[in-house]
A and B are shown apart, each in its own frame.
Chain A
Amino acid sequence: MAFGQGRSGGGGGGRGRGGDKKPGDKEKGQRRTLFRRRKVCKFCADKIDDINYKDMKLLMPFVPERAKILPRRISGTCALHQRKLRTAIMRARQLALIPYTAE
């Protein structure tokens, strides 16, 4: 097991991790203080079953300024809820509640 990355269930890829293990680390034997918060699906954690297209407060955090849907690897949403989120956002877009694009 290389960097404990195999356990990153549901988490994102290994982006932004900086450099890899340097040869000097071994001798020093010190723990690297690189912690990353585990990403948790917001809808699973808060037990939100109904992702509704009318609920702007719920949807807006998943639509950043470019008006694209926030990908799973960043938001940490589980597959099931990302699917539901997608339909909700697409419906809200049809009703001009959420933009398709940003100017």
Chain B
Amino acid sequence: MSDRQYELVYILPPDTTEQQVAELHSQVEAVVSRMHGQIATTENWGRKRLAYEIGHNKEGVYVLQVINGSGELMKELDRRLKVMDMVIRHMIVRVDEEKKVVERTQTKRRTESERRRVKRGLPPQRQPGEGRPAGEPDEGDDDRFDGVEV
């Protein structure tokens, strides 16, 4: 089956040690590899302040993992994470489709601008020093006259 990409974020209590984090990571990895998926990247955001208390915790250790795998895998992973006491919060989000859409719009925008530039007799890429200098707000026609003209 075609691979889907998911992002899994889980939050651990602030007093978890590096070792415990590694242990949990290996547990997740075991499930993933058993269900024929793979972990693309793992990111440890470290300890962060929570915006609200979760079970008397004011801080948490965030871990992000990008996982390629099937829906069944994520279902299993979700079930397991729910059961674990150590994980105070987790979230799984599917990202591959959104990524595709973003890529498509970006390439579309690029090719469109190139097409228009070529039509105007310009080189397809923007040259340095061309266009409005950055940091200078445009005045005039952008402001809509909102009063009454008699």
Does B18 make an interface contact (CB < 8 A)?
no
Q: Provide the bound-state CA to CA distance between A17 and B148, in Å.
A: 12
Q: Provide the bound-state CA to CA distance between A3 and B146, in Å.
A: 7
Chain B residues with Cβ below 8 Å from A96 are 11, 50-52, 54, 60, 89
Contact across chains for B144 and A8 when beta carbons are under 8 A apart: yes
Count of A interface residues, CB-CB < 8 Å? 35
Q: Which of A53-96 contact B (CB under 8 A)?
A: 53-54, 91, 93-96
Contact across chains for B9 and A32 when beta carbons are under 8 A apart: no
Contact across chains for B146 and A34 when beta carbons are under 8 A apart: yes
Contact across chains for B144 and A3 when beta carbons are under 8 A apart: no
Does B26 make an interface contact (CB < 8 A)?
no
Count of B interface residues, CB-CB < 8 Å? 28
Chain A residues with Cβ below 8 Å from B145 are 4, 31, 35
- Tell me which of A32, A95, A97 has the highest count of chain B C-beta atoms within 10 A of its own C-beta: A95
Q: Is the interface of A mostly helix, strand, loop or mixed?
A: loop
Contact across chains for B91 and A94 when beta carbons are under 8 A apart: yes
B108 → chain A, closest Cβ, in Å?
10
Does B98 make an interface contact (CB < 8 A)?
yes
Chain B residues with Cβ below 8 Å from A38 are 142-144
Does A7 make an interface contact (CB < 8 A)?
yes
Does B33 make an interface contact (CB < 8 A)?
no
Partner of B150, one of A4, A29, A53, A97: A29
Closest chain B residue, CB of each to CB of A17:
B146
Complex A-B: 25 CB contacts under 8 Å: A3-B146, A4-B144, A4-B149, A8-B144, A25-B150, A31-B145, A31-B147, A34-B147, A35-B143, A36-B143, A47-B109, A49-B102, A49-B105, A53-B93, A91-B93, A95-B11, A95-B91, A96-B11, A96-B52, A96-B60, A96-B89, A97-B51, A98-B51, A99-B51, A101-B52
